[in-house]
Amino acid sequence: MFKDSFKYYKSRSQIVDFSQVLDLNKDTPNLKKIDIKSETYFGFHPTHTWEVFEVVARPGLIIIKNPFTNVGQRYWAVRCLQDYSKRPYKRNIDSVKSTADIDDWWQVCNVTGDVELLKKLRWSTLGYHHNWDTKYYSEEHKTEFPEDLQNVTKFLSSVLNFGNYSAEAAIINYYHMDSTLSGHTDHSEPNLNAPLFSFSFGQTAVFLIGGKLKEDSAISMFLRSGDILVMSGDSRLCYHGVPRIINADSRPWESIMHIKDDMPKGYEHILKICKDEKLWTCFGDYLTHSRINMNVRQVLNKDQESL
């Protein structure tokens, strides 16, 4: 059962055996290779070099083994920490009295060196804001959806042959080494046919995915920095969660190669941070102790203009 596996991997009071966790670094019959179109896009290695798999036990669950250039990883980490964590996006810290007034969390953390505050940000929502109590989206609770995140998911959707994609809601999850995310399904979107794109950066997650029912058994997999998980088809409504964050076995964000980056216009200031070791340091330090997950969804159905 999902619950039992979750408890097992979460446990700190016993030695946990990770040998059954699906590992993209190992050749395994549990993964089926998928061929994709040949394209290029900012922040990624050319798609003909990508390793894309479907998880045999979970049809529709696709995983792209870190397709990012190291600069690409830095880019999204900077966006999540410096920009997607800011007002007017909605954050968990908004509803806590002591932190509710903080507009620019990242700047305050860096100016004050407040490590406690750094750990307080657990999520932020972009576009349609997920109401965690009612589990509904509404037109009244919506902010602009970032264009770069919109475009990167359009690109991925096209490369993977899912067709047109319109990213309209995202949850950015910020995890520390002791954070977990309990089992849930993502079913609030009127459009449940469109895939969900999940990007991982920083430390490694043990990701658990069961079936459509809580009682179904779960499989586990490592999500490392740069890996992209796509929940589509039959896996879109499966129970899933993160019982554990473990230390990364490599840190691809640490060094950058000077390859030409085909940067979309308007984001040059982000690229400047990625390429300047001094400016990058505080972001790199964060990733050394944390994991960031960008979880992107299409909310509306094809011909629907609003909720």
Ligand X SMILES: O=C(O)CCC(=O)C(=O)O
Per CB under 6 A, 181 contacts ligand X: yes
Answer whether 214's CB lies under 8 Å from 3's CB.
Answer: yes
Complex with ligand X: residue 52 or 231, whichever CB lies closer: 231
Complex with ligand X: residue 165 or 174, whichever CB lies closer: 174
3 state SS for the chain: CHHHHHHHHHCCCCCCCCCCCECCCCCCCCEEECCCCCCCCCCECCHHHCEEEEECCCCCEEEEECCECHHHHHHHHHHHHHHCCCCCCEEHHHHCCCCCCCCCHHHHHHHHCCHHHHHHCCEEEEEECCCCCCCCCCCCCECCCCHHHHHHHHHHHHHCCCCCCCCCEEEEEEEECCCCEEEECCCCCCCCCCCEEEEEEECEEEEEECCCCCCCCCEEEEECCCCEEEECHHHCCCCEEEEEEECCCCCCCCCCCCCCCCCCCCCHHHHHHHHCHHHHHHHHHHHHCEEEEEEEECCCCCCCCCC
Identified binder of Fe ion from the candidate list 186, 202, 227, 238, rule CB under 5 A: 186
Give the one entry of ligand X, Fe ion, none that residue 242 binds, where binding means its C-beta sits below a cut-off of 5 to 8 angstroms depending on kind: ligand X
Annotated binding-site residue? 240: yes
Q: Which residue is nearest to Fe ion (CB)?
A: 186
Residue 65 CB, nearest approach to Fe ion (Å): 20
Annotated binding-site residue? 114: no
Per CB under 6 A, 240 contacts ligand X: yes
Give the one entry of Fe ion, ligand X, none that residue 293 binds, where binding means its C-beta sits below a cut-off of 5 to 8 angstroms depending on kind: ligand X
Annotated binding-site residue? 129: no
Per CB under 6 A, 173 contacts ligand X: yes
Identified binder of ligand X from the candidate list 155, 207, 253, 280, rule CB under 6 A: 207
Of the listed pieces 123-131, 179-187, 268-276, 297-305, which binds Fe ion according to CB under 5 A? 179-187
Residue 73 CB, nearest approach to Fe ion (Å): 21
**Distance from C-alpha of 181 to C-alpha of 295, rounded to nearest angstrom:** 13
Complex with ligand X: residue 199 or 280, whichever CB lies closer: 199
Complex with Fe ion: residue 186 or 227, whichever CB lies closer: 186
Residue 23 CB, nearest approach to ligand X (Å): 16
Annotated binding site: 184, 186, 240
Query: Which residue ranges make up the site for Fe ion (CB under 5 A)?
Result: 186
Query: Which residue ranges make up the site for ligand X (CB under 6 A)?
Result: 171, 173, 181, 186, 198, 205, 207, 223, 240, 242, 293, 295
